[in-house]
Amino acid sequence: ETGVTQSPTHLIKTRGQQVTLRCSSQSGHNTVSWYQQALGQGPQFIFQYYREEENGRGNFPPRFSGLQFPNYSSELNVNALELDDSALYLCASSPVAGGPDTQYFGPGTRLTVL
Amino acid sequence: KQEVTQIPAALSVPEGENLVLNCSFTDSAIYNLQWFRQDPGKGLTSLLLIQSSQREQTSGRLNASLDKSSGRSTLYIAASQPGDSATYLCAVRADSNYQLIWGAGTKLIIKP
């Protein structure tokens, strides 16, 4: 049990809609990263937030955006959903003392876009 | 551009066997390499982290090796058990940023 939770577990949306995925980290974890994992593939880095500011981004378009809140929760927002956005979305948080290689992953949100 | 490949994509072995999972990467300028385990509905768990200056790391029945010059890492699992059944992924971190580049994983099934 990592102490990182994600909601919802599963979600079905239609193309063109918007979606918000949520992640709750442990107290003191001030860095959160979001990943997209397509079926049969490894995770791809979307972006990372540190102290409520984005401080790194992968090769994802601006319709993928995020927020991090002072209470160690965060959100991933995706606008104008496309069929290829169907994937498992993972968040991972890092404690202050652990450094960037100490990441605790949540169980993920499975998003299906029809 | 760094690319990480894992072969085979799937592996099924009888309980008790020793086995090796492979990971290769195209750019040897890595900061470190990690092996993860992924169980359905439970997210990812880090198993072993090897810094670029290290050759191997061990944890219990697991041993991971790193050969930067050849762009390869292996994960050795001794005396496999049904509970080892999971997908195993490797990920490398480049020198310049914290972004992890992942392989697609090897799905391991240990038959009782």
Give the number of other Cβ atoms within 10 Å of residue A86's Cβ: 17
Of B45, B46, B100, the CB nearest to A45: B100
Residues of chain B in contact with residue A106, where contact means CB-CB under 8 angstroms, are 43
Identify the band that residue A1 occupies on the pLDDT scale cut at 50, 70 and 90: low
**Strand B106-111 with B10-14, pairing:** parallel
Confidence check: pLDDT of B97 > 80:
no
Confidence check: pLDDT of A33 > 60:
yes
> CA–CA distance from B27 to each of A7, B1, B66 (Å)?
36, 7, 13
Residues of chain A in contact with residue B49, where contact means CB-CB under 8 angstroms, are 101
More confident residue, A39 or A72: A39
- State the pLDDT at residue A2: 62
More confident residue, B106 or B94: B106
User: Tens of pLDDT along B46-81?
Assistant: 999 999 999 999 999 999 999 999 999 999 999 999
- State the pLDDT at residue A27: 79
Q: Which residue of B has its CA nearest to A41?
A: B104
Alpha carbon B31 to chain centroid, angstroms: 16
B1-5, B38-42, B85-89: range with highest mean pLDDT: B85-89
